[in-house]
Amino acid sequence: MQTHTTGGRAHRSASLATPTNTAVVSDLTAQAPGRLLSVDEVAAVLGVPRAFVYALSRRGELPTVRIGERYVRYRAQTVSDWIAGQESTRRKGTQ
């Protein structure tokens, strides 16, 4: 994981040498099937900002586990399944 600064904010980006996102989640799932991931971990696996992960959650596209009123977590298996469901072999606009 590499860190770079833009406008005073530090951003983390995945290195090109890291395994695929699905492989990372599969490893997490294999180690602990019920493991709960933080928004930072999910964002790192997906290679997107935290705000996008929260937006997916708000829209109901990525299921969450609420812990009390403050904390949101994601099941590793659910994230893995969500990634698999996003894969497509057809071009946009075709049927």
Q: Which CATH architecture has domain 21-84?
A: Orthogonal Bundle (1.10)
pLDDT at 87: 85
Strand ordering across the sheet containing 65-67: 36-37, 71-75, 65-67
Which amino acid, one-letter code, is at 28? L
Overall residue count recorded for the chain in this entry: 95
Give the start-to-end residue ranges of the domains of the chain: 21-84
- Please report the sign of the dihedral spanned by the C-alpha atoms of residue 61, residue 63, residue 57, residue 43: negative
pLDDT at 17: 36
CB 79 within 8 A of CB 25: yes
pTM of the full structure: 0.65
Reported as a single tens digit per residue, the pLDDT across 55-77 is 999 999 999 999 999 999 999 99
Q: CA torsion, points 45, 46, 51, 53, in degrees to nearest 10?
A: -90
> DSSP alpha helices (H): ranges in the chain?
21-31, 39-46, 50-58, 76-86
